[in-house]
Structure 1
Amino acid sequence: MSMTPEEIIKDINQLVSLPEVVVRANQLLDSPTADAEEIGEVISHDPALSAQLLKLVNSAFYHLPTKVETVSRAITVVGLNELRSLIFAATATETFQDLSPESIDMNAFWQRSVYCGLIAKKLSMVLLGGSGETMFLTGLLHDVGRLILYSQLPEQAQQIVSEAEKGQSSLTAIEEKVLGFSSAQLGSALLESWELPQRLWKPVRFQASPENAGDFQGEATLLKVALQITNCVEPELKSGQPVQLASLSKIEIHGLEIPREQLELLISDASVECFDVLAIVNPNAGMIF
């Protein structure tokens, strides 16, 4: 009997449960009465998370002129609205370490995910305004459904890979044919179960069909574009040949277009920053560049 994404998520809830400090911080970030001091105190109770958060804030991800040495200062610098993204980024690989399928190179998986997150962030800053950290987390976690799929349904996952390598259909189309749903739906169901904002998990769910994302069509379109760019630099996981950047159509969202020269600079910057961020979110990985 086939299972729904929600049923699969329920079955693996213990494997991908969030650390208690992250759960508590997430709750406080949604509270209208919580302040930076209270949230900082919760995070400070976890030395490892505090250290990773400070590393991220002081990395090329932010380009800060002076070093940030305390969690409270980090919160002041990044703001409460973006703190959630950094907390989840800092705990991403640890959260999913028990789901590491043998058929996936996890170092390459996180390299691709970090790169996609950085591209999504930079596109968001240029085309949607703001600091872009929410789109960074959306890009970072866009493919976690595939980890769940390969871990929990390995036979179906292998069938999907075999068909995808023929290059006749997209991964998403093959997943929907074999499973009745996509790995993007599976991943978004997990993020929704973590009570993350819709602006984060809806673009993940509709990354292949942004027109169905409702109020978050702009974010979903941006994620789709970020994935197209990522496929040029970090090819799609076991799905055929990389796309050439020159073959992409113009990058345009909400009537705003990124000139090719600016896009190439953006891609170059993301490649440099990927070193720093990957070393923080996946510190045990060997160098794979």
Structure 2
Amino acid sequence: MSNDPTHSPAPALRDLDLSVPPFPRTLPRVLELLHEPGFTDPEALTEIVQHDPAATARLLKQINSAYYGLRRSISDVGRAIRMMGTTTAAGSVVSLGMLRMDELADGPVEACFQRFIRHSEATGFLTRSLLDSLSPGDDGPAPGAQLESPADAGASAAATGRGFAEGLLHDFGKLVLFYNYPEKAAALYEEKRFRDHLQEADDRTLERFVFGCDHCQAGAYAALELNFPTALVDVVRHHHDPEGATGDASPSVLRAVRAANLAAKAMGAPLAGVAPTEEPIDWAACAARPVWRHWNPAPEADGPPPDLMDRLRAKRGMVMLFTDFFVGASDAEEPDLPFGEPLAA
């Protein structure tokens, strides 16, 4: 076994030999809606969802959960979508597409899969929240931006809707690798079996060593095969290097996905996701990453606003409730959700 695969060239997407997971046909159509400018029309989403019994059942289960506290149950999916907000409902349908991977949930990568889902939901939540803290077309913070509660998410999402799908699917390639190589994925992500062979390697180098491609390449390949919007393909491929991307994705969205990914990891288990190496990241290390300067109004600032990490760290409980909501683990009564103070002053 070679101890230095770093000299091997990265494969082109067209050269990858991967099977694409069997996602529902509704997934690309819902993602197209999410990427339409000003997407707020519940009728378009209702038309798609009503032909998908599993998606219909999921939305009705969520609208009738304790989060919404309705006095009467809702049985019409169109009404449920209007009450939840179109972007929140669409995000729930996208989440369901990943949760339908039953063979992963019951196979050797079961533990990895569950952590992957949690991390993906948390990153989607935080991406949208960080984008809401930016003025339209600006790289500086806007006053009054807030992290949302699950029950409150529809209101502001209908107004902006930016970033949730991108954050949710940023690590899509890991799901593709789970599906194609479950035993190898369990050995790499769960058992950390290969880390001693490549002590100097980063995570994506380890993935290329084990699978022949990293999760960014695998995700972009599958996203293209599934006809994802091109901007979303760019996010999947370049979320580790937002400054180096040259495609259709918005630079502010790429930066927000990168920052949200780091923040979710800093929130610790079970929101940190899966990685080939044990690479703990605390809030100080998180704040030291250069991507955070885009949230600082001070000219030539190298880091985030002084209190941004503290505000994000204080929201871990809310993010946990949010991920519970989307993975369907919170049908029991919950306490009142804490509404957030502004992300940035």
Q: TM-score range by the shorter chain?
A: 0.7 to 0.9
Which residue of 91, 103, 108 maps to 1:102?
108
Change (3 A) 1:22 1:169: closer
Deviation, structure 1 residue 49: 1.0
Find the aligned partners of 2:109 and 2:26 in 1 and give their Cα distance.
31
Give ranges in structure 1 of 5+ residues lacking alignment.
282-289
Return the match for 1:267 from 292, 316, 319: 316
> Are residues 78 and 205 of structure 1, via their aligned partners in 2, closer, same or farther at CA, if it must alter by over 3 Å?
farther
Q: 1:277 and 2:277 equivalent?
A: no
Q: Which of 120, 125, 138 is equivalent to 1:118?
A: 125
Distance 1:58 1:136 in 2: 22
Q: Deviations over 1:195-220 (max 9, x none)?
A: 22233232221111111223522222
Structure 1 pair 152–273 and aligned structure 2 pair: CA distance change class (3 A): closer
Is the aligned partner of 1:221 residue 2:262?
A: no
What is the percentage of aligned positions where both structures have the same residue?
A: 21
Deviates more, 1:177-186 or 1:158-167: 158-167
The root-mean-square deviation of aligned C-alpha atoms, in Å, is 4.0
Rg larger for: 2
Q: Does residue 201 of structure 1 match 2:207?
A: no
Matched, 1:17 2:22: yes
- In the TM superposition, 1:128-167 aligns within 5 A as 131=157, 133-153=161-181, 157=185, 158=187, 161-164=192-195
Q: What displacement does 1:193 show?
A: 2.5
Is there any run of 5+ residues in structure 2 with no aligned partner, and where? 1-9, 137-155, 298-303, 331-345
1:72 aligns with 2:78: yes
**More relative contact order, 1 or 2 (CA 8 Å, 6+ apart):** 2
Which residue of the other structure, out of 253, 275, 284, is the alignment partner of 2:294?
253
Query: Whose helix fraction is larger, Structure 1's or Structure 2's?
Result: 1
Q: How many residues align?
A: 273
Q: 1:246 to 1:21 in 2, by over 3 A?
A: closer
Q: Which amino acid aligns with 2:133?
A: V
Distance of 2:265 and 2:35 partners within structure 1: 34
What is the alpha-carbon distance in structure 2 between the residues aligned to residue 73 and residue 4 of structure 1? 45
- 82, 86, 99: which is aligned to 1:93? 99
State the match for 1:284 in structure 2.
Answer: none
SS of 1:242 mapped into structure 2: coil
2:223 corresponds to: 191
Whether contact under 8 Å (1:37, 1:72) holds in the other structure is yes
Name the amino acid aligned to 1:219: V
- The offset of 1:261, in angstroms, is 3.3
C-alpha distance 76-151 of structure 1, shift in aligned 2 (>3 A): closer
The CA deviation at 1:169 is 2.8
CA 1:71–1:260: 2 relative to 1, 3 Å: same
Q: CA deviation at 1:146?
A: 1.9
Letter in 1 for 2:280: P
Deviations 1:26-61 (A, max 9, x none): 6777899xx743542442233321121244456799
1:111-140 CA distances to partner (integer Å, 9 max, x unpaired)? Answer: 222222222232222236663755233222
Q: Distance in 2 between matches of 1:29 and 1:207?
A: 19
Alpha-carbon separation, structure 1, partners of 2:32 and 2:232: 16
Alpha-carbon distance in 2 for matches of 1:118, 1:80? 15
